[in-house]
Amino acid sequence: MNASSTVGAVKWTRKTTLALSAALVVLVVAAVVFVRRDSSRSNETAADPGPAAAQPTPSAGSAETPWTGTWAVALQNGGPAFERQTVRQVMRTSIGGDTVRIKLSNEFGSDPLTVSAVYLAAHQRTSTVDASTNAHVTFDGGDSVTIEAGQTAVSDPVEFVLPAGGDIAVSAYVPRRIGSVTQHAFANRNNYVAAGNQSTKASLSGVRTFDNYAFLAGIDVRNAESEGAVVTLGASITDGFDSTFNENRRWPDQLARRLVGANRTVGVLNAGISGNMLTQDGAGQSALNRFDRDVVQQTGVKWVIFSDAAINDLGGDRPPGGEELIAALQQLIQRSHDAGIKIYCATLTPYKGAGYWNDEGEAGRDALNDFIKGDGSGCDGVIDFDTATHDQSDPTRYDSRYDTGDHLHPNDAGMEALAAAVDLGLFRV
């Protein structure tokens, strides 16, 4: 669903002169139609932000600057209930910009979700924001939005100086009970909830924490220097499981830092789900079933990294064979190319010693990795996560420097090794 906006009617007066040729008249009329249509799409204005923020005004040239995702999560069902509560959620941006919009999702809801008093602010610590930066986020010019089950709402644009690699918070008041919200089940950080409408407060009172993301799907920015966005599609390794809590040490976070350090303006959107599988639904929809929503429909996406989405398929007593995993990956490759998106395939990291490892699963991992590294796979590039993390003396196991101890998930150093394995030259416009 596209952002709604209130756009003033564009009025044109055509001076008629006897010297004007018929050809010039046609050109003028065509130009008028073009400008009118362009304005209806792009010349969006935000409503009164309220007392806690300055009146947002469109940035110079913003109407010509496309949107790019700076932060996103993969969506799941089964989120917590809220009623007459303020929900304050914190996220780390990848790229910055001067105009922002947010996406709220009721994708997996069974009832309408109403939110109001939505504010964007710079995050300071725990549940505290810099209230002087509060910007009121409106929807179709209004303070409140009701999102029907299965739908997503995109806010009006709001002028906000969003830093690259900065922490921001979105606060929203949920006035009416919603029994279960669309969520991302593992935020790998604390988010905050408190009774009543406290959206504009610097610090929440009576606060409690939760560690998922609730109904917040993405943050987009306008940045004239943007090169596009890359989506990282995977399972718990991409989701950052067992990396340091509250510190943004996932490998996609570290990739984003590398890009910023290299003066690149590439949004990094994390579509990892802990426990997710390539071929079967379980912890969230399978990578096959969620690909269009979590990859193709992301804002400004130009590249996708297929990462560890198949690692959980290999667990259990009867894991799928290499042929089944390869066929599923081939579907993703074709769907990426059909959408005009380049797909970079990452080899699966080792997992011998993990609770669900077995010989059949190892054979499936070998087969998929050989396919990815072989000629004719269709992958637009290869990222060798396996070589970056395995023990040189036993390639079926993690290098001990990178192992959290469960022999499946990398520690912070392992996350850094994965990010370092990504050639930044892959992201060429």
Query: What does the domain layout of the chain look like in residue ranges?
Result: 63-217, 227-426
Predicted confidence (pLDDT) at residue 12 exceeds the cutoff of 60: no
Distance between CA atoms of residues 373 and 196, nearest Å: 54
> Which one is predicted more confidently, 3 or 279?
279
pLDDT tens string 348-375: 999 999 999 999 999 999 999 999 999 9
Residue 222 structure tokens: 């306008």
Answer whether 67's CB lies under 8 Å from 220's CB.
yes
| Section 32-37 average pLDDT | 32
Report residue 10's pLDDT band, with 50, 70 and 90 as the boundaries.
very low
pLDDT tens string 217-271: 999 999 999 999 999 999 999 999 999 999 999 999 999 999 999 999 999 999 9
pLDDT tens string 380-413: 999 999 999 999 999 999 999 999 999 999 999 9
Report the range of poorest mean pLDDT among 159-173, 196-210, 305-319, 365-379.
Answer: 305-319
Instruction: Please count the other Cβ atoms lying within 10 Å of the Cβ belonging to residue 193.
Output: 21
| Section 270-286 average pLDDT | 97
For domain 227-426, the question of CATH label 3.40.366.10 is answered with no
pLDDT for residue 63: 56
Predicted confidence (pLDDT) at residue 424 exceeds the cutoff of 90: yes
| Section 85-100 average pLDDT | 98
Report residue 379's pLDDT band, with 50, 70 and 90 as the boundaries.
very high
| Section 275-292 average pLDDT | 97
pLDDT tens string 60-72: 344 579 999 999 9
Predicted confidence (pLDDT) at residue 57 exceeds the cutoff of 80: no
| Section 198-221 average pLDDT | 98
pLDDT for residue 315: 87
Predicted confidence (pLDDT) at residue 2 exceeds the cutoff of 70: no
Average predicted confidence (pLDDT) for the chain: 88
Predicted confidence (pLDDT) at residue 1 exceeds the cutoff of 60: no
CA dihedral defined by 323, 373, 423, 67, rounded to 10 degrees?
-30
pTM of structure: 0.85
